[in-house]
Each structure stands twice: as C-alpha cells, then as structure tokens.
Amino acid sequence: MSKERLPRDLGEMLVKADSGLTKQVDITKVGRGAFNTKGASWLNSVVREFITGEYHPRKNAVDPFAGQGDMLILCESEFGMETSGFDIQDDLGWEVNDSLESIPRSVGAICITNPPYLAKYSAKRKSMWPMVGHYYEGSGRSDLYEIALDRCLESFDHIVAIIPETFLHSKYPKERCQRIVILEENPFEDTTFPVCVTCWVPEIGQDPTIYVADKKIMQFSKMIEIKGDVTRSNRIVFNDPDGNVGLKAVDGTRPDDRIRFIPGDEFDYPRSSIKESSRLMTYLDIPELDSRMKISKFCGRANEILESYRDRSEDIILSGFKGNNKEGRRRRRLDYRLGRKVILEALGVSVQTTLDLE
Ligand SMILES: C[S@@+](CC[C@H](N)C(=O)[O-])C[C@H]1O[C@@H](n2cnc3c(N)ncnc32)[C@H](O)[C@@H]1O
C-alpha cells in the first residue's frame, strides 16, 4: 500500500518529435488516468444482463480504481449492491491501495471498474515515466489498463471493466472474457477516447461475443477470421510519396467523408508530408496499375470491398478513432494490414477466405 498526495504538476508532452514541439499536460491526471465515468451509458442492456444473470445482484461491488465512485453509485441505485473501493489518491475517501501492484481479495464480490489507461510509449513521451514506468517493467504489457486487468483477474471471478476499444484488436488474452460491448456514446466527462465495456467470468475457454451498444455483432473468433492473415506483398509499397494511389485511412467528421482509395493525382494531400510512419493519409505504389483507367477501376473495386466489409462487420474490424462523426457514429481507421488485404482482393489475388462478397 502506498499513500500519495501529488501536486497538480504541469508537464511538457512532446507533440512532434522532429520539431521538438511540446504542449502542457496535467501529469497527475494523465499519469493516473483520472478520467472519471459520468452517467449510465456504460450500463446498457447487455452489461446489465451480465451483471444480473452471471452474477447475483444485491451482493458486493468493488472498484479498485474508484476515483469519484460514479460506477459504484450506479451499482447501488440499480442493483442495491453493497459497494467499496480503493484508489491510490488519498483525498478521495477510499481506502488507499496501489491496485496496479495488487488488489485485496474480497470473496464473492464483482469488480466494476474503469482503470487508468496509458500506453507505454505515451508514458515515455509525456514525461510520466518516473511516475508509472515501474509498473510496465517486467509486466510484458504495453498499457496500464492491461496491467490493471491482470490484477483484477487475479483477485476477482467476475469483472466489468471499461477499457480502450483497442483491446479488441490487441494481443491481450481473452480466454476469460465473455462479452465486449463497444460504446458509441462517450461515458466520460472530459475525454472522447473510444472505449468498450468488457465482462469477465472465472471459466476459461470463452469466445467473447461482440456488441455495438445493444446490438450483437459476432463472436471474437469470427472477427479474427474476417481480418484474415495476409503476408507482405511486393505488389504494393505503402507510404511512397510518388505512389499512384492515395489512401485516406481514417473517417472524417462528415458522415460522407469515409475511408477510401483515391487515384493519386486526385488526392488532395501533400506528397511531401508522407513519412515511413504515416498512418492516416498516405500514397501507395502499385506498379501493375499502369494507366489512369486501371487506377480508377482499382479504386472503385477496393472501395466496394472495403464498404462491404464495413457493412457486414458493423465496422468492428476497423480500429476506433478519437471522436465520433457528426451523426454520432464512431470514426474508424484502416490499419495497413487489413488495407493490404483489401488491396490484394481488389487486384484479384485470392487471399484467405473472409466474408462472402456478393
Ligand atoms: C479512470 S479513473 C476511474 C474512476 C472510476 N472508476 C470511474 O469510472 O469514475 C481512474 C482512477 O484510478 C486511480 N488510480 C490510478 N492509478 C492507480 C493505482 N495504481 N492504484 C489505485 N488507483 C489508481 C486514479 O486516481 C483515478 O481515480
């Protein structure tokens, strides 16, 4: 157990490594992932059914990262549960505990939490390393929320945890995860980070069911099958400033501004901005597309294939991107692995079977 009262220090976060541009961040808030849950959007019918069906209501709920306690307050009012919590900050009224180190066991209790999130690379970039670096060391994990899940799974049989939506596409073991609910309505008061609610049980061998809000989409294993496994191909060069095809790999805020392939000479993005690390806007070189006609046909076909994947998977095979569009739908990003698969299919290469295309 450790006690702390950290000053609200402002730190410098490196925004652009090449130019050395920095902006000020609240070190304590970011380092402790102190973005509190507000409202009840996380407790939709799917999560409610898990809590009442898998777990007997009217027992105990514990939040090991309790913050302002909003999730626990909802458990009291909705299920009449007894509640308790821990937090590393000593001014919140909870028992002080470092729950990224270990969580006291409370027999039969369900864990209801929204732990801190912080990617290891961000911790380094945001000068948080002195505060949180020791948690990652030796853990084999790359985000604080994964370390938090490890501790929760050690101490509880049943867990409901709000975590980043990137969990869906991460390597974090899912054998105890029974359902994953992608929330499109933002449950936080001060950040629009894409998140999901995960529900965990004691029995291993689970194949989580994925939902978007209340709607059941598919099993996790089906999503993995759809994403497929595509090996690198020398028919495509990504991030080539002289490439003949443009790729806008992220949805815009206007609903019609979707991820798409665009003939290179029609893509309004400066070729000089392309770097090896470009992930949102880029140019690709596909040498076999050696006429304007072929490039244009290819873009049409690739966009059709991508839209078909999006439609049939309700977008879950794409990564979430910060903020929603103007219609309240989650913006999405196409990672280059899946992008390569779409491109190869549009070129007529037979890749591992995925969704049936009409
Ligand atoms: C994202 S907030 C969530 C608060 C609450 N669960 C909610 O949803 O409103 C995370 C909380 O975890 C606390 N925290 C961060 N690191 C911690 C640690 N190592 N042990 C215990 N609590 C920690 C922060 O102080 C913060 O209050």
* pLDDT at residue 346, rounded to an integer: 96
pTM metric for this prediction: 0.84
Q: Would the CB of 28 count as within 6 Å of ligand 1?
A: no
Atom 15, ligand 1: which residue's CA is nearest? 32
Q: Would the CB of 99 count as within 6 Å of ligand 1?
A: yes
Ligand 1 centre distance from Cα of residue 204 (Å): 27
Ligand 1 centre distance from Cα of residue 33 (Å): 6
DSSP 8-state symbol, 152: H
Ligand 1 centre distance from Cα of residue 172 (Å): 21
Ligand 1 centre distance from Cα of residue 268 (Å): 43
DSSP string, 305-327: HHHHHHHHHTTTTSEEEEEE-TT
Q: Give residue 299's identity as a one-letter amino acid code.
A: C
115 and 145 in contact (C-beta within 8 Å)?
yes
Give the start-end residues of each E strand in 55-157.
Answer: 60-63, 82-87, 95-96, 110-113
Q: Strands 21-26 and 10-16, how do they pair?
A: antiparallel
What value does the CA radius of gyration of the chain take, rounded to a whole number of Å?
A: 22
Atom 4, ligand 1: which residue's CA is nearest? 67
260 and 229 in contact (C-beta within 8 Å)?
no
The end-to-end CA distance of the chain, in Å, is 58
Ligand 1 centre distance from Cα of residue 244 (Å): 48
Atom 16, ligand 1: which residue's CA is nearest? 32
Atom 17, ligand 1: which residue's CA is nearest? 88
> SS3 breakdown of the chain: % helix, strand, coil, rounded to 5?
30, 25, 45
174 and 208 in contact (C-beta within 8 Å)?
yes
Q: Relative to the CA of 70, which ligand 1 atom is closest?
A: 9
Ligand 1 centre distance from Cα of residue 248 (Å): 36
Q: Would the CB of 87 count as within 6 Å of ligand 1?
A: yes
Ligand 1 centre distance from Cα of residue 209 (Å): 27
pLDDT in tens, the chain (358 residues): 333 444 444 454 444 444 445 555 566 666 676 667 777 889 999 999 999 987 666 689 999 999 999 999 999 999 999 999 999 999 999 999 999 999 999 888 999 999 999 999 999 886 789 999 999 999 999 999 999 999 999 999 999 999 999 999 999 999 999 999 998 877 776 566 789 999 999 999 999 999 999 999 999 999 998 888 777 778 999 999 999 999 999 999 999 999 999 999 999 999 999 999 999 999 999 999 999 999 999 999 999 999 999 998 999 999 988 878 888 888 999 999 899 999 999 999 866 544 443 3
Q: Would the CB of 114 count as within 6 Å of ligand 1?
A: yes
Q: Give residue 346's identity as a one-letter amino acid code.
A: A
Ligand 1 centre distance from Cα of residue 76 (Å): 19
* pLDDT at residue 67, rounded to an integer: 94
Ligand 1 centre distance from Cα of residue 144 (Å): 11
Instruction: Please tell me whether residue 348 adopts helix, strand or coil conformation.
Output: coil
Q: Relative to the CA of 38, which ligand 1 atom is closest?
A: 9
Q: Relative to the CA of 32, which ligand 1 atom is closest?
A: 15
Q: Would the CB of 83 count as within 6 Å of ligand 1?
A: no
- Residue carrying structure tokens 């948690």: 135
Domain boundaries, the chain: 10-226, 245-346
Helix (DSSP H) and strand (DSSP E) numbers for the chain: 9, 16
CATH-assigned architecture of domain 10-226: 3-Layer(aba) Sandwich (3.40)
